[in-house]
Amino acid sequence: MADPQVPLASQPTSTKMKYRMVALDLDGTLLNSEHTLSECTKAYLRYLDKQGITIIIATGRAICTVYDTILDLKLPQAIPVVCSNGAEGLLCSLSADGTSIDSERLFYTPVPEVVAKRTLSLSKELGFVTQYYVGDNVYADPQTSEHFELTNLYKELTGSQTKFVSDDFQKAQELGLPSKQLVLCPDAEQDRLIDVFTKEFSSEHYRIGSQQPTIVRGHLGWFMEVLHPDVNKGDGLKNMCSHLNIPLAECIAFGDGDNDLEFLQMAGKGIAMKNARDVIKAIADEVIDLSNDEDGVVETLRRVEKEGKLLFTGHSKDKQ
């Protein structure tokens, strides 16, 4: 593997460089199986940032579980983040001392109130545990040992500081509508959970316009997400590109899970990881032969760079 801190020795002279934005899913794509960034990944993304490439994070995670990754990357430029599977878009910048993050919300499409309330009650009726995401907080209502096991497993996966509630989410709901809701369940119950919620939300009562709420299958098998009907990572990417005034055609995106389907389709080029789900491989423009544990994103971007398909402009401060 080439030294990640050393740029390619010679840049192609092609004038047909295309991509000036790199949009990256986190779990299963940019992050390795330990849910961390490799040193190679951090060094190369900093190099691309210096060359004027816009690095975007696009994830199903809530923003509060993305902060550690942003702090670890330490990019000098603000990082656009599409989170909660496209429900929220923010511009995140490191503080002056590099120890915290300042964020500016660009767009927000929360779960409709009637859907949010029914998700809480139906999950309770089925005996499952729900997580409610609002602002920088994640709230959960575990009642059994299995509930606590699942919520703790999710905390380990994302690093979330989940707050346990015993008031039936009353205070959480007073803070506002959630960007998303997660219903956690045993692996064997995922299909039934999704079937019950899909049938329930097919009712006209829960439709927004002509659409029913979006339900996303958790690719790890033990959870399901509920979102506003207009929300998916593809539309989240589209909204972010509009705010940044960058054409979607000039974006190259990487993903692996079911929630990356619209995301990869929306980008100018959608790339599926070696470890991606088959449904994602089927719609991707390219399937690479490297996984998230093999620095697949970095090695592919190095190839794209060598082919002259990255539009290097350098940031204004580097030109002075």
* pLDDT over 80 (residue 7): no
Question: Among all chains, which residue has been given the structure tokens 């029914």?
Answer: 118
CA distance 185 to 192: 10
Among 59, 51, 131, CA closest to 315 = 51
pLDDT digits (tens, 9 = 90+) for 98-125: 899 999 999 999 999 999 999 999 999 9
What count of other Cβ atoms lies within 10 Å of the Cβ of residue 89?
Answer: 26
Question: Among all chains, which residue has been given the structure tokens 């002509």?
Answer: 210
pLDDT digits (tens, 9 = 90+) for 13-70: 334 648 999 999 999 999 999 999 999 999 999 999 999 999 999 999 999 999 999 9
CA distance 204 to 110: 19
The reported pLDDT for the residue numbered 141 is 94
- Identify the bridge partners of residue 181 per DSSP, sorted by sequence position: 132, 226
Taking all residues of the chain, what is their mean pLDDT, rounded to a whole number? Answer: 91
Q: Could you tell me which residues come within 8 angstroms of residue 291 by beta carbon, excluding any fewer than 6 positions away?
A: 273, 274, 275
What count of other Cβ atoms lies within 10 Å of the Cβ of residue 189?
Answer: 18
* pLDDT over 90 (residue 134): yes
Q: Are strands 269-272 and 286-287 parallel, antiparallel or unpaired?
A: parallel
Question: Among all chains, which residue has been given the structure tokens 């009650």?
Answer: 121
pLDDT digits (tens, 9 = 90+) for 138-176: 999 999 999 999 999 988 888 888 999 999 999 999 999
The reported pLDDT for the residue numbered 219 is 74
DSSP output for 172-226: HHHT---SEEEEE--GGGHHHHHHHHHHHTTSGGG-BTTBPPEEEE-TTSSEEEE
Quickly list H helices, 52-144. 67-73, 113-126
* pLDDT over 80 (residue 284): yes
Taking the model in full, what pTM does it have? 0.87
Directed axis angle between helix 39-50 and helix 296-306, to 10°? 40
The reported pLDDT for the residue numbered 15 is 45
| Secondary element (H or E) of residue 254 | strand 251-255
CA distance 171 to 21: 39
Domains of the chain in start order, with CATH, are: 21-109+232-319 (3.40.50.1000), 113-227 (3.30.1240.10)
* pLDDT over 70 (residue 320): no
| Secondary element (H or E) of residue 134 | strand 129-134
Predicted confidence band at 209 (pLDDT cuts at 50, 70, 90)? confident
